[in-house]
Amino acid sequence: MSAGVGVELDDVWVRFGDFVAVREANVNIKGGEFFSFLGPSGCGKTTILRAISGFLEPSEGTVSIGGANMAGIGPNKRPTALIFQNLALFPLMTVWENISFSMEVKGAGKKERRHRADELLELIALADQGEKMVHELSGGQRQRVAIARALCAQPDVLLLDEPLSALDLKLRQHMRTELRAIQQQVGITFIYITHDQGEALTMSDNVAVMRDGVIEQVADGQAIYDDPATPFVASFVGENNVLSGKVTALSKNVATVDTNLGKLRARVATAVQGGLNTGDRAMLFVRPEAVGIVETGSRGGNKISATVVTEEFEGSNYHVFMETAAGEPLKMSLVNKGQSRASATGTKLTVTFDADRAVALPVGALASE
């Protein structure tokens, strides 16, 4: 088990009538990995998870778990356990009965079940709460019971469908850490679904970003953030300033894009290297934290002049919202180092960014706000 059981989606399509919910999904999830599907609501994440757990058969393509083709194998025969979006704990059973349900249906005796349930209750830090009914627990506790119930079935792959979305922010952040810790403790493959990019980035070894049934990029968190494969990924994950224009020159994977703010240089995203040519329309993405105020006397580089609209102070950072000469918004985040924040509304600034920290991509759809 420590080696872990991998999951492979090979050219999977899921259709509901004429509607295509999942289009040509190819994913290779390694054993023991914490893998996330990230995407806005309705993009087909749950559908993929249901195809893996066996509640629906893909219209095309194959799902393999541990190398074995799962076609025709029902959910109760697959080595997966699913944690439902609404948890789906059994309301008429006590906590420990919930947890040991998977043993009950296999005919395990009460003593054995109780013993195992107590072990798992220990794991989720709910020892001696086993006799309670589910509705007597708080949201976070229910969450953990659902995890324990799934783990009790000793699955090779644990599937989690937005399990934290019902919790408040504080608890959510706490549960992130806890989930990750549990995963490392039990060492099985976790497939996690979320529309929250923060969750995906903090917990996962690898993330698949989805849009409208299409998997746009599969990579680790840093690559997703720093080297997005599509404008959608760039705009959906984290914040990004977008500048569009036409590619006028390419050298060593650095593109010069002629925008309405002048010529700006940016690195061509890894995924599109060789695919972006001179003359193509392109989008240039710069993270707010990659933008900085031009030091007096600095030479060359990307320069933009903008007017401050407002400024927000967030403690560790402050965010300066500006408007460029072309009337487009531009955001800059500065680390609070105790410097004076003399950027009152109307102040004219010249800002800059490294070509290396901006990404050029062919024009495409952005994530809607």
Partner 1 sequence: MKSSTFLSIFIGLYLIIFFGYLFGPLILMSMTAFNSSEFPRVSPWECFTLEWFDVLARDDALITGLTNSLIIAGGVVVLSVLIGLAGALILTQVWPRLRPWYYTIVISPILVPGVVLGISTLIFWDRLGTMFDARYDSVFYDGIFLTIIGQSTFISAYCMLVFISRLQRFDPALEEAALDLGATHTQTFRKILLPFLYPAIGSAAVLAFLASFENYNTTVFTVIDQSTLTTVLASKVRYGINPSISSLAVIIVAITLVGAIAHEALRRREQLKIERGEITDSSSAAANKMQGWLSGNPAMILLMLVFVAGLGTVWFGSQYSPNQCKVDVRLQKELLQQRQGPDIFSPQGGEQTQPQAPAIPDGSGSGASDTNPGRGTFGDVFDPGNLEEGEGAAPSGEGSSGGGSGDDGAAVQSPGASTFGDVFNPGNLEESAGTGSQE
Binding region for ligand ADP (CB under 6 A): 16, 19, 21, 39, 41-47
Contact 286, 353 (CB under 8 A): yes
CB of 157 to ligand ADP, least distance (A): 18
Question: Which tokens belong to 294?
Answer: 């031009």
- The CA-based angle 73-75-77, given to 5 degrees, is 60
* C-beta of 22 vs 282, nearer to ligand ADP: 22
Measure the CA–CA gap between 180 and 162, rounded to whole angstroms: 14
* C-beta of 41 vs 316, nearer to ligand ADP: 41
Determine, following the binding rule CB under 5 A, whether residue 194 of this chain makes contact with Mg ion: no
Side-chain-side CA neighbours of 184 within 13 Å: the count stands at 8
CA distances, 238 to each of 196, 197, 365 (Å): 10, 7, 16
* C-beta of 86 vs 184, nearer to Mg ion: 86
Among 80-88, 210-218, 244-252, 282-290, the segment contacting partner 1 (CB under 8 A): 80-88
Burial class of 178 by CB neighbour count within 10 A (0 to 12, 13 to 18, 19+): middle
Residues found in the chain: 369
Determine, following the binding rule CB under 5 A, whether residue 53 of this chain makes contact with Mg ion: no
From the list partner 1, ligand ADP, Mg ion, none, which binds 153 (C-beta under 5 to 8 Å, kind-based)? partner 1
Contact 191, 160 (CB under 8 A): yes
Among 20, 73, 123, 133, binds partner 1 (CB under 8 A): 133
Determine, following the binding rule CB under 5 A, whether residue 46 of this chain makes contact with Mg ion: yes
Determine, following the binding rule CB under 8 A, whether residue 184 of this chain makes contact with partner 1: no
Question: Of 46, 108, 107, which is closest to residue 82 (Cα–Cα)?
Answer: 46
Determine, following the binding rule CB under 8 A, whether residue 18 of this chain makes contact with partner 1: no
Among 102, 189, 204, 333, binds partner 1 (CB under 8 A): 102
Question: Which tokens belong to 59?
Answer: 């219209």
The site for partner 1 (CB under 8 A) is made up of 53, 55, 74-76, 80-82, 84, 86, 88-92, 101-102, 104-106, 133, 135-138, 149-150, 152-153
The site for Mg ion (CB under 5 A) is made up of 46
